[in-house]
């Protein structure tokens, strides 16, 4: 069997705990994740669904290296990320990129968009400025971003335009895995369809793997072949799209499906 691109084994995350200075009392720890296992293969598209507060974003940020787990192991291409040498850690950082839910808050409001993308590329590569500018134009075109927009600030863009810029930023370093945290939930239905079509095209073109986080089962069904269902910090069901949505085993998954609005005849 091939080694997964990203593997999480027994991952847990707790917040708080220990003694606080004032008032002097023991502080209870809050458990966000408990014993989560997840494998993402090269080129796979995995949907992570569940209600708000189920632990989806915490899991995604641990996968991206933005948070450290309280226990468990995260492996990149079969190697524990905690034991990676500096050069390998940089490759891991380039290899996993993140697209946040709200691009307006994820893009620096004081920097023009072209400068934001250039800053990102400088941090990920050793390219000289002319090469960086060529790469920015190339990726902007792939993401459907008009290069005229790169002279603007984030607040001067529509939601759809800003999300395309955020997607372009994630692609600059040629990642292997892109984590998409509710990337279309703030958009109207027509823009959602455009962004989902863009993501499908980029995946096919570049062989990307996706970890797609959403509470919207219809969106996940469209983009993902495999689905993991989270509830109270645990993955309660995982399998192919057809199995999870067509023959769910977990009671929580069935409740999620029952909650999906349906048109009446």
**pLDDT the model gives residue 161:** 93
The CATH classification number of 6-15+31-108+177-258 equals: 3.40.50.300
DSSP character for 47? E
Number of H helices, E strands in the chain: 10, 12
**How many Cβ atoms from other residues are within 10 Å of residue 89's Cβ?**
15
In this predicted structure, what is the pLDDT of residue 103? 82
Query: pLDDT digits over 2-33, tens only?
Result: 899 999 999 999 987 666 665 666 667 789 99
Task: Give the torsion sign (CA, 65, 70, 76, 82).
Answer: positive
The arithmetic mean of pLDDT across residues 97-118, rounded, is 92
Query: What mean pLDDT value characterizes the chain?
Result: 91
- Residue whose tokens read 């309280």: 70
Please, is 52 exposed, middle or buried when counting C-beta atoms within 10 Å of its C-beta (0-12, 13-18, 19+)?
A: exposed
Report whether pLDDT(61) > 90. Answer: yes
- The count of other CB atoms within 10 Å of the CB of residue 227 is 25
* pTM of the predicted structure, to 2 decimals: 0.91
Contact 6, 208 (CB under 8 A): no
Instruction: Say what percent of the chain tops pLDDT 90.
Output: 78
Where exactly are the structural domains of the chain? 6-15+31-108+177-258
Cβ atoms of 41 and 64 within 8 Å: the answer is no
């Amino acid at each position: 069997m091939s080694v997964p691109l990203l593997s999480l084994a027994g991952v847990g995350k707790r917040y708080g705990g220990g003694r606080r200075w004032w008032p002097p009392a023991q502080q209870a720890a809050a458990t966000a994740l408990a014993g989560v296992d997840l494998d993402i293969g090269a080129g796979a598209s995995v949907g992570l669904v569940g209600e708000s507060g189920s632990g989806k974003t915490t899991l995604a940020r641990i996968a991206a290296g933005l948070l450290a787990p309280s226990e468990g192991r995260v492996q990149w291409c079969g190697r524990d990320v905690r034991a990676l040498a500096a050069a390998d850690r940089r490759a891991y950082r380039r290899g996993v990129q993140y697209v946040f839910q709200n691009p307006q808050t994820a893009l620096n409001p004081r920097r023009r968009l072209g400068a934001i993308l250039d800053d990102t590329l400088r941090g990920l590569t050793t390219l000289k400025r002319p090469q960086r500018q060529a790469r920015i134009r190339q990726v902007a075109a792939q993401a459907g971003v008009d290069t005229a927009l790169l002279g603007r600030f984030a607040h001067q863009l529509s939601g759809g335009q800003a999300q395309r810029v955020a997607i372009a930023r994630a692609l600059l370093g040629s990642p292997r895995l892109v984590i998409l945290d509710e990337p279309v939930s703030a958009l109207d239905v027509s823009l959602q369809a455009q962004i989902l079509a863009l993501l499908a095209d980029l995946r096919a073109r570049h062989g990307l793997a996706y970890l797609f986080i959403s509470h919207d089962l219809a969106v996940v069904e469209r983009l993902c072949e495999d689905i993991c269902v989270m509830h109270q910090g645990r993955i309660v069901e995982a399998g192919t799209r057809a199995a999870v949505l067509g023959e769910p085993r977990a009671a929580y998954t069935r409740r999620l499906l029952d909650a999906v609005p349906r048109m009446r005849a």
